[in-house]
Structure 1
Amino acid sequence: MITNLIILTLVLVGGSLGYNFFPELMDFIPSVPAWIANPIVGLILGAAIFYLLSFQVIKPIERSIKKMESFFSQLSVAYLIFGSVGAIIGLILAILVSIPLAALNMIFVSNVLPLILAVFSAYFCFQIATSRREEIRRLFTSRAQKQEENGVLERKEGDSFRRYKVLDTSTIIDGRILDVTKAGFLEGTFVVSQHVLQELQYIADSSDSLKRVRGRRGLDILNALQKEEKIEVQMDDSPLPESDEVDMKLVHLAKKMDGVVVTNDYNLNKVAEFQKVPVLNINELANAVKPVVIPGETMRVMVVKNGTERSQGVAYLDDGTMVVVEEGQHYMNKSVTVVVTSALQTNAGRMIFAKMEHSQKGIDDWKETK
């Protein structure tokens, strides 16, 4: 469509130039028949020449148009509207100023200076309208709306705010995204790609009972998210690179929408960071809100399995945090009191190292007797 439009435009331009200037050019050539110097002949020749020329320039023109489309698609509607209105006001002001200048009948002042004023006036008014658009908008806001907004900080869209949250399959199956959103810690629009939905359906139809349960849980979480009144869920059917895996498709989608990838997958987290795509990791959020343990604190745990080192036992807190207990191997399947010695934060989670409380008491007693 754009190709035909470019060709038609060039043909019309060529025909117009030929119609207006071809007869005057023929006046410089002696003994030219009158039918050749006819404007209609010039129109036909100009249109034909520009039609042939269009095949040479159509590709660069198309590339330029696509770059312009890409540039303007990244701008917000409010920015374009306020900028256009500001430029129009600047041109009107330049016309009003150029009227008395034209009456002076001076070559530079009457002809060139109004053009310069028009360009600069349109530019400055465009800049003022786009940079102060929030203030201009508030001028036209009704008093009732101003009273409702009074005392509320106005948030501007920037690098720290991403409206669209692209959900990963692992996050949906995990289910904690529903609780986090209900608590109000996530905002914006949740985007579910058709590829994620297909993957969930494939898992739900699996012959493996464990995978089938996980897939059905993911579909239930999606339905619960969609039923929440304060949560907006949007399906995305846009075409994405077919050769990529689902994880890479989500990264491409987040780039396209200027959104954030929400995931529990450690590898997807690293790939998205490498692609300069913001990531929200539910596991990192869970680790961040876990209670902080201080060396010297005591806690009650149950040793459930052997550790990797000699005499070590492993226990788990209610939130899943691993506790490595020195000499805990001798208290298998028993609830014991331990003393925290240190804590280690890793990308996979938090690990707590502890030892038996009675061994700590023995050290303290030995220090006192010494």
Structure 2
Amino acid sequence: MLKKILRGLFTIIGLIIGYLVGEMLLSTDYLAGFNNFKSDTIQGIIFVIFSTLIFGIILFLISPIIVSFIMKFMDYVEKSTQKMPTSQIIFGTSGAIIGLVIASLFAGLFKYQSLIWNIFAVIFTVIMAALGADICARKRDEILSFFTSIKRKDGFKDKKAKGFTNENPKVLDTSVIIDGRIFDICQTGFVEGPLIIPTFVLEELRHIADSSDGLKRNRGRRGLDILNKIQKELNIEVEIWEKDFPDIAEVDSKLLKLAQVLNGKVITNDFNLNKVAEFQGVPVLNINELANAVKPVVLPGEEMKIQVMKDGKESGQGIAYLDDGTMIVVEGGRRYIGENIVVIVTSVLQTAAGRMIFAKNKDSLVKN
């Protein structure tokens, strides 16, 4: 149907062109010398009709070739747009319109007209339209988040009484969701929302929960349970970020990009992700660093009562643990395994893995 319509349109265009060409030829000096060839004579009218029919027939005959090229071009454009997100098409079109408006305003500053200027104006207009479309398509997420943040500021005014806030959104990493401690931290009120959960993180959790490995499957299901508890039991805003970054393959890179777009922070306990985020200038809240920071401060010379659990790596050493998991290395504590003893702290070592406390049995120090 479309081919027939286009063929008919080209035939009409050919008739119009033939009529205009016939009228133009009648007005030339060459045909003006013949008295019979004038627009108001029968010969002139016949000449115009003949010219109109000739061009109409020519366009009618070559229209299938033109229509086939148009259809191929339309198929190419349709296949290309199907691969593009709808938001990218909308923002690209809006950017092209903005570029055309800027180009027209710039061209209006010049009063004179010339052939060179007209050529330059056409090239400049095309460049501005392409530039505007490219910028808006690439920055669509930043633009959308900007307008979304403005809308949130108005929409969340009545939610402040519930503790909701729109400042510094926190993007949750897969590892920190599976870890589960984020629920306890949010429950204490030390972390305020909104908590951002991207769909690609949910998709990764779903793949882990469907894994054939039993351990991975349990971890994935634990992460989904933690998310449900956060949404249902905590008085904190949780948002599902449904957009994606199709040009970025890795989930960690998508998280960092999303944090940059939202001007927020990433919550994780992944050491490598933490380092990459620091390199890219993305703020990170590391759960492990928080856990180390809130452990009780122990100074050399303090006494504590512990239970020696096992022997250490070195000869005669015993190992004990505090309630928060901090390891205590007791010199000469091997013979006290299974007993409760009082030790005196000799030194404290802070490592990337955590804090280690070195101590000696108080009774052995007193004897010495």
TM-score range, shorter chain: 0.5 to 0.7
Q: Return the letter of the residue paired with 2:174.
A: T
Match of 2:11 in 1: none
Q: Identify which of 257, 272, 295 aligns with 1:252.
A: 257
Q: CA deviation at 1:298?
A: 2.1
Q: Identify which of 321, 337, 358 aligns with 1:316.
A: 321
Match of 1:304 in 2: 309
Cα distance in 2, alignment partners of residues 79 and 164 from structure 1: 10
Structure 2 stretches lacking a partner, 5+ long: 1-92, 152-157
Cα distance in 1, alignment partners of residues 106 and 143 from structure 2: 31
Match of 2:35 in 1: none
Higher gyration radius (CA):
2
Cα distance in 2, alignment partners of residues 300 and 61 from structure 1: 75
Match of 2:274 in 1: 269
Q: CA deviation at 1:300?
A: 2.4
Q: CA deviation at 1:237?
A: 2.3
Aligned residues: 266
Match of 1:226 in 2: 231
Match of 2:6 in 1: none
Q: Identify which of 118, 122, 144 aligns with 1:54.
A: 122
Instruction: Give yes or no for contact 2:96–2:128 (8 Å, CA) kept in 1.
Output: no
Match of 1:362 in 2: 367
Match of 1:338 in 2: 343
Structure 1 residues 14 and 276: alpha-carbon distance in aligned structure 2, compared to 1, 3 A threshold:
closer
Q: CA deviation at 1:229?
A: 5.2
Deviations 1:220-242 (A, max 9, x none): 11001111352111111222255
Structure 1 residues 259 and 354: alpha-carbon distance in aligned structure 2, compared to 1, 3 A threshold:
same
Deviations 1:305-362 (A, max 9, x none): 3323222222211111111111122233333322211112223211111112221212
Give me the TM-score of the superposition, normalised by structure 1.
Answer: 0.60
Computed over aligned residues only, the root mean square deviation of the Cα atoms, in angstroms, reads 4.3
Match of 2:353 in 1: 348
Instruction: Give yes or no for contact 2:176–2:267 (8 Å, CA) kept in 1.
Output: yes
Cα distance in 2, alignment partners of residues 60 and 2 from structure 1: 12
Match of 1:208 in 2: 213
Cα distance in 1, alignment partners of residues 275 and 236 from structure 2: 27
The within-5 A match list for 1:18-37 is none
Structure 1 stretches lacking a partner, 5+ long: 26-44, 82-144, 150-156, 364-370
Q: Identify which of 63, 71, 76 aligns with 2:131.
A: 63
Instruction: Give yes or no for contact 1:315–1:323 (8 Å, CA) kept in 2.
Output: yes
Give me the TM-score of the superposition, normalised by structure 2.
Answer: 0.60
The within-5 A match list for 1:1-370 is 1-2=93-94, 5=97, 49=118, 53-55=121-123, 57-60=125-128, 62-63=130-131, 73=143, 163-228=168-233, 230-240=235-245, 242-363=247-368
Structure 1 residues 287 and 79: alpha-carbon distance in aligned structure 2, compared to 1, 3 A threshold:
closer
Cα distance in 1, alignment partners of residues 100 and 256 from structure 2: 40
Cα distance in 1, alignment partners of residues 149 and 242 from structure 2: 27
Instruction: Give yes or no for contact 1:10–1:54 (8 Å, CA) kept in 2.
Output: no
Q: Which moved more, 1:327-336 or 1:343-352?
A: 327-336
Instruction: Give yes or no for contact 1:3–1:58 (8 Å, CA) kept in 2.
Output: no
Cα distance in 1, alignment partners of residues 145 and 247 from structure 2: 28
